[in-house]
Chain A
Amino acid sequence: MNGALRLPPRPRPRLPRRPATAQRQRAARPFEEIVAEHGALVMRVCRALVGPDDAEDAWSETFLSALQAYPRLRAGSNLRGWLVTIAHRKAIDLLRGRTRRRESPLDGSELAAPGPAAAGDEELRSALDALPPKQRGAVIYRYLAGLPYAEVGKLLGSNATAARRSAADGIANLRKRLSKGTS
């Protein structure tokens, strides 16, 4: 390897540049960078939303769908919020498909059941899955995905104020559930 070749200053742009008009307003970073930067976060969100067994499917569906839409994404868009929104929709599709595949409707225990590939905090996962849907969503999107309350509200079909309350209630409920047996 020739280390010396790494050092020279950035060369001037050498490829012909097209006029920077409409195209400039679109996302122009290579998608590879987006996967590298946000892949792990999207995976954590998928694990929380659909559980460990389906998380990889949800992750793949999310990034495939994002890749498709990516050239049309406006420059300067909040990528994390965009990806989490796609993951949210993919998780709903996946859970609906899962319900459809079963003869009897979910009784709730399935959602919390650890699969063979399960890893991480099972107790937390079941406590989270036992929360009312809005609280569960608010906790995941606010505290795991790190979205602002306004975006959390949009994802939950409400608003920032309601999302803030749901997140606070969710955390309070988790404290109650997870404290049982520890004190």
Chain B
Amino acid sequence: MITEKQILDRIEQGFSGSFAGPEAIGTLHRRLAARAERQGLLDVSYRTVDSPLGPLLLAATGEGLVRVAFSREDHESVLSRLASEISPRILRTPRRLDEPARQLEEYFAGKRRAFTVPVDLRLAHGFRRSVLLRLRDIPYGRTRSYAAIAKAAGNAGAVRAAASACSHNPVPLVVPCHRVVRTDGSLGGYLGGPKAKRALLSMEAAV
């Protein structure tokens, strides 16, 4: 007679089947994401892409790119915040982010000067949002001061608030907050770190 333990082991192992491999769950996951999207149940999709500034997290809603995050922001906690601030219906869905990923790749290769993907600025409110809306007017390879941006956004006195809007930009790179610097010409802060800001500006100047 076989023992109870042997039975329990067989139960534990007997149904793993071909699902043990990561490929099987990959296929099921893709199918789940596709069905969720068709049924309007996918609120946020995301993927990561490699870049010269390290891995970037890209997240989009149905309306557009909602978040670009540097790895120093900790992608996992960025996703948790998206879950509480937008919706926890979040799945890794590379396909929905193919276009932003491609445009970023072209940008880093020096082959793209402006992004044409739709952007969803729902994570920025009030004055911060007005500031971000002005940033896309700054041409590639040029810079503006925080003071000039504050004025353009409709409140010339709100220089610190304009700087804070830039440093909280949920969609850096695509909304080019790296092109805003201090009036004295020094760089000012950046979500991706000062090195990244300097690297972007010299890349844009060199191309």
Interface residues of A (CB under 8 A from B): 1-2, 5-6, 8, 10-11, 13-16, 18, 23-24, 26-32, 35, 39-40, 43-45, 47-48, 52, 55-56, 59-60, 63-64, 67-68, 70-71, 117-121, 124-125, 128, 139, 143-144, 171, 174-176, 178-179, 182-183
- Which listed residue (B39, B88, B123) contacts A30, Cβ 8 A? B88
Considering only residues 85-132 of chain B, those with a C-beta below 8 Å from chain A are 85, 87-92, 123, 125
Q: How far is the CA of A121 from the CA of B10 in the complex (A)?
A: 8
Instruction: Find out whether the CB atom of A35 lies under 8 angstroms from the CB atom of B7.
Output: no
Considering only residues 29-53 of chain B, those with a C-beta below 8 Å from chain A are 29, 31-32, 35-36, 39, 41-42, 44, 46, 50, 52-53
Within the complex, the shortest CB–CB distance from A37 to chain B, in Å, comes to 12
With both beta carbons as reference points, the residue of chain B lying nearest to A64 in the complex is identified as B35
Instruction: Find out whether the CB atom of A120 lies under 8 angstroms from the CB atom of B14.
Output: yes
Interface size class of B (residues with CB under 8 A): 35 or more
Interface locus among B76-84, B139-147, B154-162: B76-84
Instruction: Find out whether the CB atom of A171 lies under 8 angstroms from the CB atom of B41.
Output: no
Which residues in A have their C-beta under 8 angstroms from that of B87?
71
With both beta carbons as reference points, the residue of chain B lying nearest to A183 in the complex is identified as B1
The answer to whether the Cβ of B23 comes within 8 Å of any Cβ in the partner chain is: no
Instruction: Find out whether the CB atom of B53 lies under 8 angstroms from the CB atom of A5.
Output: yes
